[in-house]
C-alpha cells in the first residue's frame, strides 16, 4: 500500500516513526574524529583577487600553493568576481576550505564539454579529488550549452566534480545544462545550495545528503523531451551510496523526471521536498534497467506541491518504513564518525 501524503493519520504516524528512529540513530552514532584537523580550526588564510592586492590573482595558483600532504585547514578566500579558469583540488591536498563572497558574487566559470576526444570526467570547471574538502558561498558554472538557458548542442559539460570523501558545500551554486554536478565517490553534504540543469544534472555514485537545496530545471537546447534531475550510480545491494534530498524545492522551466537509473541498484530519496508542476507524472525512469526495477530504490515521502501528486507514478517506486527512512534522512547516513561536525564553522 502506498503512503498517502497530507494531514492524514498515516502520514502523522510515519513522521513520528521517522523522528523516533532518527533520535535513536543519533544516540547510537559515534561522534568526533581524532585526526590532525579534528578541531576544525583554520590555521592559515590565502586571499585571491583577480584585480590584485591579494596573495594570488587566480584560484588555481592559490590551490597550488597549499603543500602536498597538508594536515591542517587552510582557507582560500576568493573575492567577488567571475574567475574564468578550470580549478582542480588534487588527491593529496586535503583540508582546503574554498570560500567566496556569496554564490551570486563569486563564481568560477569555464566552457569545456565532452566530445569524441574528451571524456565527461575531463570537462569539469571545478574538480575536488581530495578528502576533507569544504566550500561555501561560491558558484561553479559550466557555460557550454549556454550554462543557464543559451543555445548550442547539448552534451555532457560538468560544472563541478566531487570525488573525495568527507566533502561539504554550503550555500554554493552549481550551474550547467547536462551533467552539472558529478557527485561521485565518497560521503558528501550539500546545504542551502542552488543546482541548475536539464539532463542528469545531479549524477554519480556518491553517498550524499542535499539539505534545503533549490533544484532548478533549465531549458534544454535542441530538445523538447522532459529532462532528468538525477542519475544515481549505486552498483550493488551492498553499495552504501545514494542521493537523499531533504527539505529541498524543485522548480524550473523544463518538465523533468525526478531521476533515472544510471546503474542497476540506483537509490534516490526525496523527503519533505516541495515540488512544482515541472515534475512529470511518472516521476521516474528505469532507463537501461526496464524489467529489473525491483533492484532500484526510488522513494518519495512527505513531499508537497503540485509535482508531488503520485497518482500517475510508475508502479515500482519503493515505500520505506519510518525506521528504514530514518537511516537515510539523518546526518549519520553520511557522518556517523562525526566528520561533518569537525569541519570549520
| Most distant CA atoms of the chain, gap in Å | 63
Q: Which three cell numbers stand for residue 312?
A: 500517475
Q: Is 285 among the catalytic positions?
A: no
- The C-alpha atoms of residue 225 and residue 178 are separated, in whole angstroms, by 14
Nearest to 228 by CA among 277, 179, 300: 179
- The C-alpha atoms of residue 244 and residue 256 are separated, in whole angstroms, by 18
**Chain centroid, CA 336 distance in Å:** 19
165, 179, 200, 330: the active-site residue: 200
- The C-alpha atoms of residue 113 and residue 87 are separated, in whole angstroms, by 15
DSSP 47: E
The H or E element spanning position 325 is helix 322-329
Task: Output the 3-class SS for 266-314.
Answer: CEEEEECCEECCCECCCCEECHHHCCCHHHCEEEEECCECHHHCCCCCC
Task: Output the 3-class SS for 195-232.
Answer: EEECEEEEEECCEEEEECCEEEECCCCCCCCCEEEEEE
Task: Provide the CB-side half-sphere exposure for 143 (13 A, CA).
Answer: 10
Contact partners, residue 261, CB within 8 Å, separation at least 6:
231, 232, 285, 286, 287, 288, 289, 296
Location of C-alpha cell 537509490: 267
| Catalytically active residues, by annotation | 200
Amino acid at each position: 500500500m502506498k503512503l498517502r501524503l497530507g494531514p492524514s493519520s498515516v502520514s502523522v504516524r510515519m513522521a513520528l516513526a521517522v523522528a523516533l528512529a532518527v533520535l535513536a540513530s543519533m544516540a547510537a552514532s559515534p561522534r568526533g574524529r581524532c585526526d590532525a584537523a579534528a578541531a576544525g580550526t583554520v590555521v592559515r588564510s590565502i586571499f585571491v583577487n583577480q584585480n590584485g592586492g591579494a596573495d594570488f590573482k587566480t584560484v588555481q595558483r592559490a590551490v597550488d600553493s597549499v603543500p602536498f600532504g597538508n594536515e591542517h585547514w587552510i582557507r582560500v578566500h576568493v573575492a567577488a568576481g567571475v574567475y574564468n579558469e578550470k580549478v582542480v583540488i588534487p588527491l593529496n591536498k586535503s583540508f582546503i576550505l574554498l570560500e567566496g563572497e556569496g554564490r551570486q558574487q563569486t563564481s568560477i566559470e569555464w566552457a569545456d564539454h565532452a566530445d569524441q576526444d574528451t571524456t565527461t570526467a575531463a570537462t569539469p570547471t571545478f574538480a575536488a579529488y581530495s578528502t576533507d574538502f569544504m566550500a561555501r558561498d561560491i558558484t561553479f558554472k559550466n557555460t557550454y550549452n549556454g550554462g543557464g538557458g543559451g543555445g548550442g548542442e547539448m552534451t555532457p559539460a560538468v560544472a563541478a566534480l566531487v570525488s573525495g570523501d568527507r566533502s561539504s558545500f554550503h550555500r554554493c551554486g552549481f550551474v550547467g545544462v547536462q551533467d552539472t554536478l558529478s557527485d561521485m565517490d565518497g560521503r558528501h553534504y550539500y546545504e542551502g545550495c542552488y543546482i541548475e540543469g536539464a539532463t542528469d544534472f545531479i549524477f554519480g555514485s556518491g553517498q550524499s545528503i542535499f539539505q534545503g537545496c533549490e533544484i532548478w530545471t533549465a531549458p534544454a537546447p535542441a530538445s523538447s523531451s522532459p529532462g532528468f534531475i538525477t542519475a544515481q550510480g549505486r552498483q550493488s545491494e551492498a553499495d552504501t551510496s545514494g542521493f537523499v534530498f531533504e527539505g529541498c524545492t524543485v522548480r524550473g522551466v523544463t518538465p523533468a523526471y525526478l531521476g533515472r537509473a544510471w546503474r542497476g541498484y540506483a537509490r534516490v530519496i526525496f523527503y519533505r521536498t516541495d515540488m512544482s508542476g515541472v515534475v512529470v507524472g511518472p516521476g521516474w525512469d528505469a532507463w537501461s534497467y526496464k524489467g529489473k526495477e525491483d533492484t532500484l530504490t526510488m522513494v518519495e515521502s512527505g513531499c508537497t506541491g503540485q509535482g508531488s501528486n503520485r497518482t500517475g507514478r510508475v508502479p515500482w517506486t519503493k515505500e520505506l518504513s519510518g525506521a528504514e527512512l530514518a537511516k537515510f534522512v539523518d546526518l549519520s547516513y553520511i557522518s556517523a564518525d562525526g566528520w561533518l561536525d569537525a569541519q570549520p564553522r
